[in-house]
């Protein structure tokens, strides 16, 4: 299945957001994930099912004032 992660096309076997995070070797702390422009709390990653063409955004800390 193909989905979009941070505007890049990604081929994935993950069925849930939790398995996607694992597959991409993302840290579990210090990041936030949104699916279709809605933030998904990490407690709901397991329950969040992925489907073809979904847009996922992952952010983390950056320098800034």
Partner 1 sequence: MEKLVIAGREFSSRLFLGTGKFNSNELMAKAIEASGTEMVTVAMKRVELEDKEDDLLAHVARPGIQLLPNTSGVRNAEEAVFAAQMAREAFGTNWLKLEIHPDPRYLLPDSTETLKATEELVKLGFVVLPYCQADPTLCKHLEEAGAATVMPLGAPIGTNKGLQTRDFLRIIIEQANVPVVVDAGIGAPSHAAEAMEMGASACLVNTAIAVAGDPVAMAAAFKQAVEAGRMAYEAGLGLQAASMVAEASSPLTAFLNE
Residue ranges binding partner 1 (CB under 8 A)? 5-8, 10, 24, 26-27, 30-34, 37, 39, 41-42, 57-65
- Grouping H, G, I as helix, E, B as strand and the rest as coil, residue 44 is helix
- Nearer CB in complex with partner 1: 51/65: 65
CB of 45 to partner 1, least distance (A): 11
CB of 62 to partner 1, least distance (A): 4
Nearest alpha-carbon partner for 25 in 48, 53, 58: 58
**Residue for token pair 């990653």:** 45
């Amino acid at each position: 299945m193909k989905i979009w992660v941070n505007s890049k096309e990604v081929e994935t076997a993950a069925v849930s957001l939790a398995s996607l995070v694992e597959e991409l070797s993302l840290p579990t702390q210090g990041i936030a994930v949104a699916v279709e422009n809605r933030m998904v709390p990490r407690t709901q990653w397991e329950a969040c099912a992925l489907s073809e063409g979904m847009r996922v955004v992952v952010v983390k800390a950056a320098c800034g004032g």
